[in-house]
A = this chain, B = another copy of it.
């Protein structure tokens, strides 16, 4: 049985893959990629496709975009199915599995590795640049310095959890802002943090947009919007 290399491809730039990930990808006979919304190879594949050897077999795995808390059983069945298919392909060769960002941060990869081990597949993980590190470098805004903490929270979490994270940390990355834009504006105002955030939508794309005015948080924001809250900074 072969080894599966789980590779984080980073947040968007094809050259943000690690040198180790790049070398493994160059030698891979089989490349597993999560599907996008249309069922075809998704974002992770799109980012590094220029690095994939033309003779490699591309296997698209469907991971439904469901809620982990509400649809756990359906997701679990799908993970098992994908693991079985992956193990079958790895009977006589190694392969790589591409994930967006880092494989250990909000990634589907971490669910199927447990099932792969049951099939006798060895999994080796090669980390990637998480989206929040890409964002901080692009903005030239440090995520954290000196004796401060930082946290990553999603607007799909319950309000009390988001509020607790905002209260406990000096620096906060808020993911999936579009899932609760008005709630987030309210939570920031309650804490007098109106001037302490910077929001970026569609980073690195032609339609990239940066927001530092809390009034603009009332409107509809693109799906790919991430906010950085820094309590000791003023972005206005």
Chain A interface residues toward B at CB < 8 A? 8, 10, 13-20, 22-23, 67-69, 102-107, 110-111, 113, 123, 125-130, 133-134, 136-138, 140-154, 156-157, 161, 164-165, 167-169
> Chain B's nearest CB lies how many Å from the CB of A33?
19
**What chain B residues lie within 8 Å of A111 (beta carbons)?**
145
Whether A128 touches B129, Cβ cut-off 8 Å, given contacts A17-B18, A147-B68, A169-B168, is: yes
Residue among A68, A103, A107, A149 with most chain B CB within 10 A: A149
- Name the residue on B nearest A70 (C-beta): B147
> Chain B's nearest CB lies how many Å from the CB of A106?
6
In the bound complex, CA of A68 to CA of B142 (Å)? 15
Whether A150 touches B152, Cβ cut-off 8 Å, given contacts A18-B16, A104-B136, is: yes
**What chain B residues lie within 8 Å of A143 (beta carbons)?**
102, 104-105
> Judging by beta carbons under 8 Å apart, are A161 and B149 in contact?
yes
> Chain B's nearest CB lies how many Å from the CB of A140?
6
**What chain B residues lie within 8 Å of A164 (beta carbons)?**
167-168
**What chain B residues lie within 8 Å of A145 (beta carbons)?**
68, 106-107, 110-111
- Name the residue on B nearest A48 (C-beta): B19
CB<8 Å pairs between A and B, sample of 10 = A15-B23, A17-B18, A19-B19, A104-B136, A104-B143, A127-B134, A147-B154, A150-B151, A151-B169, A164-B168
**What chain B residues lie within 8 Å of A126 (beta carbons)?**
16, 137
> Judging by beta carbons under 8 Å apart, are B20 and A13 in contact?
yes
> Judging by beta carbons under 8 Å apart, are A133 and B137 in contact?
no
**What chain B residues lie within 8 Å of A17 (beta carbons)?**
18-19
> Chain B's nearest CB lies how many Å from the CB of A154?
6
Among candidates B113, B144, B167, residue contacting A106 with C-beta atoms closer than 8 Å: B144
> Chain B's nearest CB lies how many Å from the CB of A148?
7
16 further A-B contacts with Cβ under 8 Å, apart from A68-B146, A123-B140, A147-B157, are A10-B18, A15-B19, A15-B20, A15-B23, A19-B22, A104-B141, A105-B133, A106-B145, A107-B142, A110-B145, A125-B138, A151-B151, A151-B152, A161-B168, A165-B169, A167-B168
